[in-house]
Amino acid sequence: MAVVFDKPKSLADLPLHYCPGCPHGIIHRLVAEALDELGIEGKAIGIAPVGCAVMAYDYFTCDMIESAHGRAPAVATGIKRCRPDNIVFTYQGDGDLASIGMAETVHAAARNENITIIFVNNAIYGMTGGQMAPTTLPGQVTQTSPYGRDVNQCGWPIRVSEMLATLEGPEYITRVAVNNVKNVMNAKKAIKKAFQNQVEGKGFSLVEVISACPTNWGMTPEQALKWVDSDMLPYYPMGVYKDRSAAKEAK
């Protein structure tokens, strides 16, 4: 018998601190698989966010740095500009990337920094206990939107991929999900491509991963993944929003 599925080497042999059923673990694994399969773990430098994935610096076996809240794309810029031969990636949540770090995100994309961003969107602040995120859905109940997100009072959730795709700068912007096997397989391909783009010097590649937060959504893990299908994906449709190289080839 041969091993057909095992933990990737780039994911450290440590118990993950995430809540039961939290898809962060799946997304971590997909990133580690991409590092393994492309053989780039030894060259990789990862940037952990502030949020639930703050301790990602322990979980990835490559060199890692912990960034201030939202600043990961700026930190990545600093590293990549100094060490263009290394593979630099950030791993950020929705509060980190789309709220406090929106300026850093947009400008890194506009500059087409040759970095890879894994953007985990689960429509809520997890680490701080379930507050409204910039991606919280209209009507969604959180600790700071206890009567449901009122778009007249606090605005509409931001579709980051669609917005970034309007910029000339970035190479590759795509949205995937990890709520079932088929979607996880697609997410894996997208994440690998986002790293491959960097290896080939193509530029800024961002994969928005629609995830779940069973704990703060107040659901079982299984219910949460179903809610991704029923509520998240209609507002945040999966798809490739920008692929400059593919568009060029098509011409």
Partner 1 sequence: MAERVLMKGNEAIAEAAIRAGCRHYFGYPITPQTEIAAYMAKKMPKIGGVFLQAESEIASINMVYGASAAGMRVMTSSSSPGISLKAEGLSYLAGSDIPAFVVNVQRGGPGLGGIQPSQADYFQATKGGGHGDYRMIVLAPASVQEMASLTIKGFDLADKYNMTAMILADGTIGQMMEPITFEDEEIRQYDKPWALTGHEGKRPHNVVNSLYLKPEELERKNFERYERYKLVEENEAMWEEYMMEDAEYCVVAFGIASRVAKNAVVAAREKGIKVGLIRPITLWPFPKKVLEQAAEKVRGFVCVELSMGQMIEDVRLATNCKRHVGLVCRSGGMVPSPDEVLAGIENAVKGVY
Partner 2 sequence: MAKLTFKTDLCKGCGLCVSTCPKGCLAIDTASINKKGYSPAVMVNEDKCIGCAFCATMCPDCIITVEK
Selected binder of partner 2 within 21, 95, 157, 203 (CB under 8 A): 21
What is the token pair recorded at 160? Answer: 């980051």
The yes or no reply on residue 76 touching partner 1 (CB under 8 A) is yes
DSSP 35-81: HHHHT-GGGEEEEE-SSGGGGHHHHBSSEEEEPPTT-HHHHHHHHHH
The yes or no reply on residue 199 touching partner 2 (CB under 8 A) is no
What's the angle, vertex CA 68, arms to CA 63 and CA 71, rounded to 5?
Answer: 90
Residue 246: name its binding partner from partner 2, partner 1, none (Cβ under 5 to 8 Å by kind): none
At closest approach, how far in Å is the CB of 5 from partner 1?
24
Stretch that binds partner 2, among 16-24, 45-53, 108-116, 229-237 (CB under 8 A): 16-24
Residue 213: name its binding partner from partner 1, partner 2, none (Cβ under 5 to 8 Å by kind): none
Nearest to residue 74, comparing CAs of 50, 44, 109?
109
CA–CA distance, 176 with 189 (Å, rounded to integer): 10
The type of residue at 24 is H
Torsion angles phi and psi, residue 146, rounded to 5:
-65, -20
Binding mask 141-180 for partner 2 (x = CB under 8 A): ---------------------------------------x
The yes or no reply on residue 250 touching partner 2 (CB under 8 A) is no
CA–CA distance, 149 with 152 (Å, rounded to integer): 9
The yes or no reply on residue 47 touching partner 1 (CB under 8 A) is yes
Selected binder of partner 1 within 14, 103, 185, 246 (CB under 8 A): 103
Stretch that binds partner 2, among 17-25, 93-101, 107-115, 159-167 (CB under 8 A): 17-25
CA–CA distance, 99 with 210 (Å, rounded to integer): 16
Interface residues with partner 2 (CB under 8 A) are 1-7, 11, 15-16, 18-26, 28-29, 180-181, 184-185, 214, 220-222, 225
